[in-house]
Structure 1
């Protein structure tokens, strides 16, 4: 039986674990403030909060419930917009939206309110930039964003004297959340959560890729939920190697202090990956096995020359390079009985540099037209190691073998980069589709390749060095 706390109510249900959390809260619990919009995680009208006990404290994150399996709510606290309400007055987030005229038709408003409430509950620094990140996945089609941004700013101002110690008491006293929140950690401890009886079925972790494509199928057929499998979790750094469990989410990378110190621009790169709600759900393993030719995390890990470890039968394992994992469009070297366990890569050295670039139609929550990453080592102005990847220009996430090999041993000069760009053009074979023509993608491939060098070595290269060639 699936057991969790929904707002202030303990739920025990035998509903199919593959049904979406959105459908359960709307149709089974009649909590219709959580809206149905795109059913693809794009509009965030269906945003809810998920609270999970970690190290005896509860941490809250926002997710899009339309692409989250109900079974993943097991053992957690789920908060819909109704669960944020106060008696006889508006919450701080609701008042901010009202005071700044940040709502019109009202369809998107519950999602914004829940996201802003999640920001107040989160462990992130309470600044305006993080508040905007919190609502980066919420779409409004009526009001325009300036009024909503002003509402976010008002919420930040109200958090000026926020106290992390006894945070629930502070947030309750200041009208951000209702009083029952203070009892939730103990109530979760008191419930005896048994492991779900998992049938053999489709492996599902966060579901952010699968539920966009197969929500109805997964709701009617057996699923094997693996999001809470500890042996697939965690990020460790040992002997200059970073190992990431495939259940780790993009937000886990975002919040990992040591990894961010080694890759100082990591948050800048990850900010280009979907939205905060999706980053909170999306597993690294799911992104890899979705095998999208434009998967952002796949392109990033290809450039880090990563390897994957695969669990096979009888607890055996095998390891192969990620660049050898993909065999064709949406096909890869993974048998039906196998499971990705972890991904690992050697950490960059003081002589190495990493960059990720992405072009898409909007800044947040969009799939790439073309994306690219590079990991390059330079000693005495000579390139000693190079790994270049690119997406959107082939049937698979593309590791550029010839371009990478050409760079090694060459001087870091404009001539080298221009010659490598010509090799890159011969390695890619984009097709025309809704995101752009083949010619446009060829151009983007070249420009993103140049952008790596102007970004990483601004004292050596300027954009003008490559304009004529482009």
Structure 2
């Protein structure tokens, strides 16, 4: 039995735990304000808020309910547009109305829910942050300037919050319903009545983390499947430093990485990189381990961690083994992983003082799109001498690729424009892109060369490479 708080009432259901939350709220609870759009997590029409106590305090994040299994709602607070309605329009809805930020209205509930999530977060009340909060919501008819104005008005509502706890401030200022102040206590009581992890899965059950890809690929199959849920498994969570290494649990989400002080310290541009990857609701749900095991040739974080030469630990429940990430991929969607094994840990060496990192991505849309080609570099340079380098690339082979020959060539040589041009030529011998919807073979080869140039231009601006992008 799955139990959680839906808006202001506790619900329990024996429906298959793989049922998308979207279908449960619409067809079981008849809360039809949450809309069905793309069923791929792109449009944001089905956005809900998910509140939990995993950090020790009540925290809300947005999620696309079309990709969220009921099993991942266990013990949480799920908020639909109906859950933030008040007797009259709440101030978020009023801002949308005043700024003429809705036309057909189909997308409006998602925008309002996302802005409500912003009001419940600890992010600074700036227009920039308010607008970023709706980056997972698409409007097809209104135009975004009116929505941006509404988001700015919402940010102004929070200016007097100062250090007050966001949930209390939003309720006290009648931005959101007063019942929100009771949720933390109610979730604590609910948690004590649960048995923890859902245990009705068979030994051969499908393992599901955030579900952001598996529900796109296998929607009809997965909803009735036997599932072992990993998303809330505390043993598979966390980001910590172990000596010179960083250790990450595979159920760690992209948002967890963004908010990690350790990641911020060693990768100060990490948040910028992630703006190129999916949207806020998807980043809230997507797990790093899921990105690896999905085995997409263009998986953004697979490419990121290939450049860091990450090592994976797999377990079958009894025995564990280590495997370099670069050796995981045996062919298209083929892994060096037995069916009974699951990913237990991710480990990589933290960058040394002279080590620099960069990630680049090109896609048809700047945001909310998969890569045509992506690439990352991890490079150590001392007195213009390259002492260590790892380069990875996606979209240029049947598997996520570590460019080992290119790295070998660069190691031990002095940085120069000529060296980079030769390295690009070697990289071309390591790849085998195909023509598809994201570009022709020739285009992808050109892109990889340009991204390698971009790495060096970004990391070594003093190097005389101003002609690189022209050649």
TM-score, normalised relative to structure 1: 0.97
Tell whether 2:101 aligns with 1:102.
yes
Corresponding residue of 1:368? 371
What CA distance in whole angstroms lies between the structure 1 residues aligned with 2:42 and 2:126? 24
Please show how residues 45-56 of structure 1 align to structure 2 within 5 Å: 45-56=45-56
The alpha-carbon distance between structure 1 residues 391 and 25, as it changes in their structure 2 partners (threshold 3 A), is same
What CA distance in whole angstroms lies between the structure 1 residues aligned with 2:249 and 2:55? 19
What CA distance in whole angstroms lies between the structure 1 residues aligned with 2:239 and 2:466? 37
Corresponding residue of 2:230? 226
Offset of residue 197 of structure 1: 2.5
What CA distance in whole angstroms lies between the structure 1 residues aligned with 2:370 and 2:229? 26
What CA distance in whole angstroms lies between the structure 2 residues aligned with 1:23 and 1:162? 36
Corresponding residue of 1:255? 259
What CA distance in whole angstroms lies between the structure 2 residues aligned with 1:359 and 1:132? 23
Corresponding residue of 1:8? 8
Q: Is the 8 A contact 1:312 1:318 kept in 2?
A: no
Please show how residues 180-191 of structure 1 align to structure 2 within 5 Å: 180-191=179-190
Q: Is the 8 A contact 1:198 1:225 kept in 2?
A: no
The range that moved more, 214-223 or 76-85, is 214-223
Deviations 1:57-79 (A, max 9, x none): 20000000001101100000000
Q: Secondary structure at the match of 1:57?
A: coil
Q: Choose which of 384, 395, 399 in structure 1 pairs with 2:398.
A: 395
What CA distance in whole angstroms lies between the structure 2 residues aligned with 1:253 and 1:166? 23
Corresponding residue of 2:452? 449
The alpha-carbon distance between structure 1 residues 462 and 143, as it changes in their structure 2 partners (threshold 3 A), is farther
Corresponding residue of 2:281? 277
Q: Is the 8 A contact 1:108 1:138 kept in 2?
A: yes
Deviations 1:176-215 (A, max 9, x none): 2100000011111112122323312100011001000011
Q: Is the 8 A contact 1:48 1:65 kept in 2?
A: yes
Q: Which runs of 5+ in 1 are unaligned?
A: none
Tell whether 2:334 aligns with 1:335.
no
The alpha-carbon distance between structure 1 residues 70 and 37, as it changes in their structure 2 partners (threshold 3 A), is same
Q: Secondary structure at the match of 1:236?
A: strand
Tell whether 2:408 aligns with 1:409.
no
Please show how residues 241-320 of structure 1 align to structure 2 within 5 Å: 241-314=245-318, 316-320=319-323
RMSD of aligned alpha carbons: 1.1
Q: Choose which of 193, 200, 207 in structure 1 pairs with 2:211.
A: 207
Deviations 1:397-450 (A, max 9, x none): 011011111110010111110100100111111100011111111110110110
Corresponding residue of 2:470? 467
Tell whether 2:125 aligns with 1:154.
no
Corresponding residue of 1:324? 327
Moved over 3 A (4+): none
Please show how residues 77-116 of structure 1 align to structure 2 within 5 Å: 77-87=77-87, 89-116=88-115
What CA distance in whole angstroms lies between the structure 1 residues aligned with 2:181 and 2:201? 36
What CA distance in whole angstroms lies between the structure 1 residues aligned with 2:210 and 2:256? 13
Offset of residue 466 of structure 1: 4.2
Q: Secondary structure at the match of 1:67?
A: coil
What CA distance in whole angstroms lies between the structure 1 residues aligned with 2:165 and 2:459? 43
Deviations 1:279-325 (A, max 9, x none): 000011110000000000000000011111111242x2111110111
Q: Is the 8 A contact 2:313 2:346 kept in 1?
A: yes
Offset of residue 164 of structure 1: 3.6
Offset of residue 175 of structure 1: 2.8
Q: Secondary structure at the match of 1:293?
A: coil
Q: Which runs of 5+ in 2 are unaligned?
A: none
What CA distance in whole angstroms lies between the structure 1 residues aligned with 2:127 and 2:168? 23
Corresponding residue of 2:144? 145
What CA distance in whole angstroms lies between the structure 1 residues aligned with 2:363 and 2:98? 33
Corresponding residue of 1:197? 199
The range that moved more, 188-197 or 21-30, is 188-197
What CA distance in whole angstroms lies between the structure 1 residues aligned with 2:246 and 2:367? 27
What CA distance in whole angstroms lies between the structure 2 residues aligned with 1:102 and 1:49? 21
Deviations 1:337-362 (A, max 9, x none): 00001111100111011000000121
Q: Secondary structure at the match of 1:66?
A: coil
Q: Secondary structure at the match of 2:58?
A: strand
What CA distance in whole angstroms lies between the structure 2 residues aligned with 1:376 and 1:302? 13
Q: Secondary structure at the match of 1:54?
A: coil
Tell whether 2:67 aligns with 1:57.
no
Corresponding residue of 2:347? 344
Corresponding residue of 1:31? 31
What CA distance in whole angstroms lies between the structure 2 residues aligned with 1:436 and 1:127? 38
What CA distance in whole angstroms lies between the structure 1 residues aligned with 2:163 and 2:23? 34
Corresponding residue of 2:173? 174
Offset of residue 219 of structure 1: 1.1
Q: Secondary structure at the match of 2:398?
A: coil
